[in-house]
Amino acid sequence: VTATPGLGYAFAGWTGDVGGASTNDAVLALTLDQARTIVAHFSSAFIDVTALVDWNVNWVFDPRTGYFTGTLTITNRNESQKSLLAPVWFEVASTEWHWLRTPTGIDTNTGMAYLDISAAVNSQLPGIGDGDLALDPGESVTVEGIQLMGRRTPTGLVVAVWTDPPAALSTPVDTDGDGMPDVQETIAGTSAADPNALFRIRLSPDGRSVQWDSAPNRLYKVLIATDLRQGFVVAADNIEGTGMPATFTAVPQTLGIGTAGSVFFRVEVRVK
C-alpha cells in the first residue's frame, strides 16, 4: 500500500493494524491474511492559493508617517471549487516596490517578508456562510490595518494561505490521542476532543458492503478496487451526510464476481 500525498502535504506515518511493518515508510508491505484497518497520516506544508482567490485593497496614504494603510478583502473564487479550511495561516507579503511596516517574519520559501493575519481572518469564519470554519467558494473576509511603506501607491500584494507556519512541517496535532489529527477531524465532522469519535468504515460480513457514520454538511465518495496495482475507481460520489449511518453496497457486476481475488473499499469525505 502506497501513501501518496497531495499538493502541499507530506507523508507523516501510518497507524492501525500494520503488524511489524515500518510505520515511517510511505510504501507499506502488509500480509493481507485478515481484515486490517490502517490510516495514512499527512502533515501539511506551504500551499500558495493566490490563483484561487480574488483580493482588493483600498489604500489611504498618511503624509505625516509616510505609510499606506489598507483594508484587504479576500474572496475565494467560485470557480476554485476548493474550500480553504481552518485552522490555516493567511498571509500577505510585500511586493517589489513596497515593504511591510511590521512584518511577522521572513518566509524561507520565497525570502519575502510576510504578515500573519490568521486571527483576523479566522475570527470571521464562524459568521460567514454556514459557519463551517472554512472560506468556501464565493465567500469573503475583510482585514483592516495592513501597512506598507513605499514611494508610490501599492498596486498589488502577494496573498497566500498556509496550513502550517511558513516552511515548517510539524507533527499533526491530535488533541484526543485517537490517531486522527485535529485537522482531519474538522474535515470529517468528528470531535477532536472525543477519542471515540472517529471516521471509520466497516465492512459487512460478506465483504460487499461498506458502512460509516456520516456527518451533516459533508459529502462522501466511495471508491473500489479489485487489484490495488490498478488503482481505485469511483463507485459513488456526492453522498449526503445526514448524521446517521450510511451504507454503500457494491453491484456484483462491478466487482467482477466469479473471479478469484479481494475487493478493497475507500471512502473519502469532504466539507460540503
CATH number of the domain that residue 126 is part of: 2.60.40
Tell me: the pLDDT tens digits for 216-249?
989 999 988 877 777 788 899 999 999 999 999 8
Same domain membership, residue 128 and residue 179: no
Same domain membership, residue 195 and residue 136: no
- The residue segments making up the domain with residue 70 are 47-162
Same domain membership, residue 55 and residue 157: yes
Per-residue confidence (pLDDT) for residue 245, from 0 to 100: 92
**Backbone φ/ψ region at 20: left (φ over 0), alpha (ψ -120 to 50), beta:** alpha
Per-residue confidence (pLDDT) for residue 167, from 0 to 100: 45
Last residue of some domain: 101, 128, 162? 162
Retrieve residue 73's grid coordinates: 478583502
Q: Is residue 36 part of a domain?
A: no
Residue 8 and residue 45 in contact, taking contact as beta carbons nearer than 8 Å: yes
Q: In what order do the strands lie in the sheet with 264-271?
A: 233-240, 218-225, 264-271
Per-residue confidence (pLDDT) for residue 92, from 0 to 100: 81
Per-residue confidence (pLDDT) for residue 162, from 0 to 100: 62
Same domain membership, residue 113 and residue 87: yes
From the list 52, 47, 12, the residue with the least C-alpha distance to 184 is 12
Q: What are phi and psi of 69, to 5 degrees?
A: -110, 125
Same domain membership, residue 62 and residue 132: yes
Per-residue confidence (pLDDT) for residue 168, from 0 to 100: 43
Per-residue confidence (pLDDT) for residue 242, from 0 to 100: 93
Per-residue confidence (pLDDT) for residue 252, from 0 to 100: 62
User: Residue 100 forms beta bridges with which residues?
Assistant: 148
Same domain membership, residue 87 and residue 58: yes
Q: Is residue 72 part of a domain?
A: yes
Q: What amino acid is encoded at 247 in this protein? A: T
Q: What is the pTM of this model?
A: 0.45
Same domain membership, residue 122 and residue 191: no
Tell me: the pLDDT tens digits for 136-173?
888 999 999 888 887 777 776 777 666 555 544 345 56
Q: Is residue 6 part of a domain?
A: no
* Count of domains forming the chain: 2
Q: Is residue 1 part of a domain?
A: no
Low-confidence ranges of the chain (pLDDT < 50): 167-170, 257
Same domain membership, residue 106 and residue 85: yes
Q: Is residue 158 part of a domain?
A: yes
Same domain membership, residue 96 and residue 158: yes
Per-residue confidence (pLDDT) for residue 173, from 0 to 100: 66
Per-residue confidence (pLDDT) for residue 28, from 0 to 100: 85
d(CA 134, CA 141): 11
Strands (DSSP E) contained in 45-135 are: 46-47, 53-62, 67-76, 84-85, 89-93, 98-100, 105-106, 113-116, 134-135
Same domain membership, residue 151 and residue 178: no
Retrieve residue 254's grid coordinates: 462491478
Q: Is residue 33 part of a domain?
A: no
Q: Is residue 30 part of a domain?
A: no
